[in-house]
Structure 1
């Protein structure tokens, strides 16, 4: 069953044009001219209960606009949008009882108060019973290891601790959908892995639907089975991560461990992307020659200790997609 239905949604921002100078100011009072910018253009998709979906796109692609429409903050210009069977901006108060929202660069915590006070306020706002509140608080405190700093003021927490608190608070009222905007931004490797593991677990065990926007492709690869890619307001891809990798992943990453520093390798279709001394990573484009042929040629000219061949990682695939979209945009503008 679909928990989110988006059908032909378009969002147009209208900006009134200002004229320079005193005469221009007077003209602005009697003449209203404006420019229009399409942030989201005729997008259609649905998300099922328990699905984890990554919503991706370059800066300015319309990701945040769509999230704000799905949470009821913005009103679509046209199209039909249903979240939990209701129109979000018309039933915002009702829908807020069943969704959780985490914005990585905005906090819903009280800066000078202890973490527990922010949780208590959340209980009051969502009218949670004492038993439900205490059960969920204990559950998420244990899973996210909050007990060591739950009595500390929010301003004394590290970024990783604060993000764990934000996620716990967004889940205290048992939402059916969790919207996440850049949840791992600025976190170290360990903190990112803790957040990812937790999100995988609540999606798997509690069947919480997740809609995730991020520029960290590792988040998508480890949390989401499906991703939607948008560009300049248009949807350009909707499918699995593996399907996109198969479609665009006509590259291989080869890590070669040399016994001694090699000379510059000049073979068509091979590009050095990481140089770590005797450990070098090359990107191989598909061509008439196989990866093994190229590696054999390198081995015939240099002393090699070991070789590792991998599919291109999701970052490489997404970069390739963005470059392809950028080239198409430039061609269309000519």
Structure 2
């Protein structure tokens, strides 16, 4: 089994109420990405959501270009661009520009979206989004591969013409997937799969679905990466790690509660510490090793700065994870 790679995620969100101007907060997070690259992380991932009061970044490819200018080695991924909210040719162009700035380091992660609020915000119908998503991926692939814009489909009809700049021919496209049908779609259309899950038992189910979809499609796990994104935080002791991460995790869970329309707020006291990869480096490494025996993920990425963490806390956690957790899991 090949050793896994590791990444950090940044969505540039703050825990409400906002206390740091956006320009300062973005600058701090960019510095944290540079720290992650120097520490030895393999990738950085940006998410996309809209209409959020906490500053959740709505433009992952813009963030990717900024990161490309500040780094030289680390892979830069989107997790994910909500493709049905955008014109696919524009996404193809923006992604190609990031490839040009970064020397081909972009991993374009795409998802079809789910939030009625976000679709309504852009005046886009949710119905038919799966078909538009699939056509959009085909448009991006054709433009990148052939250097042409022409396409004739049910939802998009594009006149033929030149497309530039062209990214590398092996420029990867990953797809975010959770439900079985989405996993099968990812295996059929993409070069790798992204999934977000915190509970270990849920991860095992999703990995089994991924493995079954690969077998059904005649594809191999060693050529189709399984990227697991989640929450992790390390500090000198388990209690210190939880004291730093607990309020941030409660905030994240409460945001999901709001999205579901539930009324009762979620606090730290409602969380089960065992449900999260939070602890000392040795504890987190042991858990990752045990998890990988059951679900051999190819890449693991986690929040590089949980909402509410100071720059100092996030920096220490990033460097400690790189120095002690990654070597232990890789067997270095």
Higher strand proportion (structure 1 or 2): 1
TM interval, short-chain normalised: 0.3 to 0.5
Structure with higher Rg: it is: 1
Normalization by structure 1: what TM-score? 0.32
Normalization by structure 2: what TM-score? 0.32
